[in-house]
């Protein structure tokens, strides 16, 4: 029967991982998949994660199932981290999921269950897997303008105009911070304007927040999510712990559904449990337990925050270094946007041909749309990248 299957397109981001591995050049630079690397090229286990794992190993005396929506302590800790006290805890239904991708998938499924013909407004561009999952679920998507190819910032007038086309029963998918793949983000005033449009249109926001702590800091990065959640009757939030806790392979995420009233809250919580059961039953627990162990303990939390801040400042330093190097080599300010962008990624804004030339001639691997993983750089590879960018005539 399986001869009826069709070849599926390779994921553009993950395909690069293999290409990079197969490249024998020792000067190659991997700016593909969104993974943080330290100055030595390693993706370390964070100190607090190691310590939490040790505590869990010592204390854990059973591996029996948790609940269908995971360990409540994880949900409580993450709701606190993401939403602070923006909304009452009693209005937030939450379910642990396998990674942030799992949360995104369950959120789309919940939308589809509630309203099969809902349109999902997506930024152009967005994380390719948003589009892939929506297509797989046969859901309607409507792109809204986001990236300005000229300024490499946000085309905010275009974005707002397009979002005004949404209506009640539609969903607007937003990146809470550190927009993936562009690195271009809204400022606080612009977020307020988006909130106004959400209120006027009645569209439901869905926020994907996968890089909290990688942009301007843990609270600053969650500020827009918190304000949105406090300003509209209901919203969905898909949070990932992969990057900010560095626990990529543990698959740790949380889907939150903020409700307008207790009846809706009960329905949401039950729906999240049902959806988990249909797709994988119980969510993975190890990563979730690491996160709650860290967030519940002042010492571990402090150490985690300090290390995350080192990572964030390191990325900012690399951004400054790259923008400075490119300014020196090009004699122009046209790469200044690299220091303005925030998060793991920046879209260079060049053609797929130039991206290919960077790969073939210089062994520099970035996604075809010219998304670079800034966290894949180090102080030694920045000058190599800058020289290559100028060499291929970007
Ligand atoms: C990325 O965008 O590179 C990350 O979110 C990893 C992934 O799963 O694509």
- Number of the ligand 1 atom closest to the C-alpha atom of 367: 3
- Answer yes or no: are the C-beta atoms of 69 and 288 closer than 8 Å: no
Helix (H, G, I), strand (E, B) or coil at 112: helix
Share of residues in the chain with pLDDT > 70 (%): 100
Rounded distance, CA 293 to CA 307, Å? Answer: 16
Residues having CB closer than 6 A to ligand 1 are 13, 33-34, 127, 129, 180
Starting at the earlier edge strand, list the strands of the sheet with 253-258: 92-97, 253-258, 235-240, 204-209, 171-175, 119-124, 140-145
Tokens (6 digits) for 46: 């964070």
- Number of the ligand 1 atom closest to the C-alpha atom of 11: 9
Res. 227 pLDDT band, cuts 50 70 90: very high
Ligand 1 centroid distance, CA of 247 (Å): 13
Q: What percent helix, strand, coil does the chain show, rounded to 5? A: 50, 15, 35
Ligand 1 centroid distance, CA of 361 (Å): 25
Q: List, in sequence order, every residue forming a beta bridge with 235; answer none if it has no partner.
A: 258
> What's the first-to-final CA gap in the chain, in angstroms?
49
- Using CA positions, which residue lies closest to atom 6 of ligand 1? 34
Q: What is the pLDDT of residues 316-355, one digit of tens each?
A: 999 999 999 999 999 999 999 999 999 999 999 999 999 9
Rounded distance, CA 352 to CA 12, Å? Answer: 12
Is-cis flag, bond preceding 66, omega within 30? no
Q: What is the pLDDT of residues 72-83, one digit of tens each?
A: 999 999 999 999
Helix (H, G, I), strand (E, B) or coil at 369: coil
Report how far Cα 132 is from the mean position of its chain's Cα atoms. 15
- Number of the ligand 1 atom closest to the C-alpha atom of 210: 5
> Mean pLDDT for the chain?
97
Ligand 1 centroid distance, CA of 11 (Å): 10
Instruction: Give pLDDT, residue 12.
Output: 85
């Amino acid at each position: 029967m399986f001869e009826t299957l069709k070849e599926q397109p390779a994921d553009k981001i993950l395909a690069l991982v293999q290409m990079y591995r197969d490249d024998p050049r020792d000067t190659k630079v991997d700016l593909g998949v969104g993974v943080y690397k330290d100055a030595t090229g390693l993706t370390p286990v964070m100190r607090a994660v190691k310590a939490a794992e040790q505590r869990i190993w010592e204390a854990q005396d059973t591996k029996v199932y948790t609940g269908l929506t995971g360990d409540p302590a994880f949900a409580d800790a993450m709701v606190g981290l993401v939403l602070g006290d923006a909304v009452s805890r009693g209005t937030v239904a939450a379910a642990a999921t396998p990674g942030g991708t799992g949360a995104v998938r369950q959120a789309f499924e919940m939308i589809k269950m509630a309203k099969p013909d809902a349109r999902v407004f997506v930024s152009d561009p967005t994380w390719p897997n948003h589009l892939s999952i929506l297509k797989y679920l046969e859901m309607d998507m409507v792109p809204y303008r986001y990236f300005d190819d000229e300024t490499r910032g946000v085309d905010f007038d275009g974005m707002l105009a397009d979002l005004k086309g949404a209506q009640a029963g539609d969903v607007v998918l937003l990146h809470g911070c550190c927009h993936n793949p562009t690195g271009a983000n809204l400022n606080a005033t612009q977020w307020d304007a988006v909130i106004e449009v959400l209120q006027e249109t009645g569209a439901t926001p869905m926020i994907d927040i996968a890089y909290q702590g990688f942009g301007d800091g843990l609270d600053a990065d969650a500020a827009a999510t918190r304000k949105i959640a406090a300003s509209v009757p209901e919203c969905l939030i898909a949070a990932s712990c992969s990057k900010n806790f560095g626990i990529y392979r543990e698959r740790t995420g949380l889907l939150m559904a903020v409700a307008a009233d207790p009846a809706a809250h009960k329905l949401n919580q039950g729906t999240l449990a049902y959806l988990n059961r249909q797709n994988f039953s119980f969510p993975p627990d190890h990563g979730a337990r690491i996160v709650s162990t860290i967030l519940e303990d002042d010492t571990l939390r402090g150490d985690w925050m300090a290390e995350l801040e080192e990572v964030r400042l390191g990325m900012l330093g690399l951004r400054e270094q790259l923008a400075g190097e490119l300014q020196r080599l090009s004699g122009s300010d046209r790469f200044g946007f690299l220091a303005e962008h925030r998060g793991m990624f920046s879209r260079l804004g060049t053609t797929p041909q130039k991206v290919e030339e960077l790969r073939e001639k210089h062994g520099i691997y970035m996604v075809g749309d010219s998304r670079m993983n800034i966290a894949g750089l180090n102080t030694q590879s920045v000058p190599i990248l800058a020289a290559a960018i100028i060499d291929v005539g970007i």
